[in-house]
Structure 1
């Protein structure tokens, strides 16, 4: 990372990477990223995140278990999620992102086999050497704790970018929470929100070259004066 890299540059450079080189991140760099993330804000400083980093042969074993669970239809999310619940502009943005991604990697809309293959790349962590699985304790309706996890994840993602790395948040991993807990020996009291696959992105891969537009400020922010 350049010492003169501005925060605004880091924010604009960060985007979801979906193809990585296989070589691992050096231990000291990984610890630096995690130290940054540990400084994230949380409600009453509870710091509820429980992050499990999976690498090497354990990551490969986890990927095989996830692919097998997916093949068997063993979907076990701790928290409900369906893209069909979105409507209006939110659904339009989802469709726009999906269309841009599939077009970038050369998958046609009606090629369902290739679309499924592309989707299952989530369970292979897009070839990344590491995945961070973000677990949380159950507290009340879980909304406040999930918000804390979101702030932690954003700090982690920005720090990855600042260190010359890349990452991709994956809600899809949260759909296989029982498989992941069983494979890693994690207590059932901890609930999986999502994961972040990360490493050194292959910037020449089509999956990392497309960009999607963000909403203008006036579409999301209302000023009261």
Structure 2
């Protein structure tokens, strides 16, 4: 498979087969991913790969906290910022939500189904494994997120090459105190993102949704070309 094909085939998958992932494949994917560039070759990432009973504990704890409407720890406040209303970024966010709700048969007024859909994210979309990406707090937050984005992209592309799928999500780390306790993540690590990973269930309706992209000519300014 050519690289351009892998890039074009990657999508956010929100439904997975109940099929465990071999540790060897996950190790290989992460080894490939760490070839990502990083600021001054600092490689400021650490991966916590969670599966089986620890993952089930995370799912239960996340959902319990979500249902109780508890506020997330202050350290995660920055990931809860939503795009401003009236901006194109908000419009794109709303558009993809509408597409997903449509294929899942979730009406705008159906609060129960909307809540159930939200809970899927806190369960890592029932994937057989989740990767919690963390970085050292000694590194500047702006730089570490740039480096994290590069390694995240590599994880998602490498997964496609192994016949797997992923979904990058903030929901999986919002309740950071829960994550730290169950996965034993020390306080000197900053939680950056969660990645659900597994074999895709292509019969799951939401997996048929491909998020649209802005026409490339609308996001390019040509200078001397």
CA–CA distance in structure 1, aligned partners of residues 64 and 150 of structure 2: 32
The 8 Å contact of residues 138 and 191 in structure 1, kept in 2 or not, is answered as yes
Name the TM-score, length of structure 2 as normaliser.
Answer: 0.93
1:114-146 per-residue CA deviation (whole Å, 9 max, x = no partner) reads 101101101111111000001112246411111
Q: Secondary structure at the match of 1:69?
A: helix
Q: How many positions carry a matched residue from both structures? A: 221
1:52-63 equivalence runs, <5 A: 52-63=48-59
1:83-122 equivalence runs, <5 A: 83-85=82-84, 87-122=86-121
1:12 matches 2:8: yes
Aligned to 1:211: 210
1:135-167 per-residue CA deviation (whole Å, 9 max, x = no partner) reads 112246411111101110000000001111000
Aligned to 1:75: 72
Q: Which runs of 4+ in 1 moved over 3 A?
A: 84-87
CA–CA distance in structure 1, aligned partners of residues 147 and 37 of structure 2: 7
1:36-185 equivalence runs, <5 A: 36-72=32-68, 73-76=70-73, 77-80=75-78, 81-85=80-84, 87-139=86-138, 141-185=140-184
> Cα RMSD (Å) of the superposition?
1.4
Structure 1 residue 168, shift from structure 2 partner = 0.1
CA–CA distance in structure 1, aligned partners of residues 139 and 164 of structure 2: 35
The 8 Å contact of residues 139 and 145 in structure 1, kept in 2 or not, is answered as no
Q: Secondary structure at the match of 2:76?
A: coil
Instruction: List alignment gaps of at least 5 residues for structure 1.
Output: none
CA–CA distance in structure 1, aligned partners of residues 206 and 171 of structure 2: 17
Q: Which moved more, 1:170-179 or 1:91-100?
A: 170-179
CA–CA distance in structure 1, aligned partners of residues 171 and 64 of structure 2: 15
Instruction: List alignment gaps of at least 5 residues for structure 2.
Output: none
The 8 Å contact of residues 49 and 134 in structure 1, kept in 2 or not, is answered as yes
Name the TM-score, length of structure 1 as normaliser.
Answer: 0.93
The 8 Å contact of residues 79 and 193 in structure 1, kept in 2 or not, is answered as no
The 8 Å contact of residues 65 and 183 in structure 1, kept in 2 or not, is answered as no
The 8 Å contact of residues 83 and 89 in structure 2, kept in 1 or not, is answered as no
CA–CA distance in structure 2, aligned partners of residues 141 and 28 of structure 1: 32
Structure 1 residue 84, shift from structure 2 partner = 4.5
Structure 1 residue 192, shift from structure 2 partner = 0.9
Structure 1 residue 86, shift from structure 2 partner = 5.8
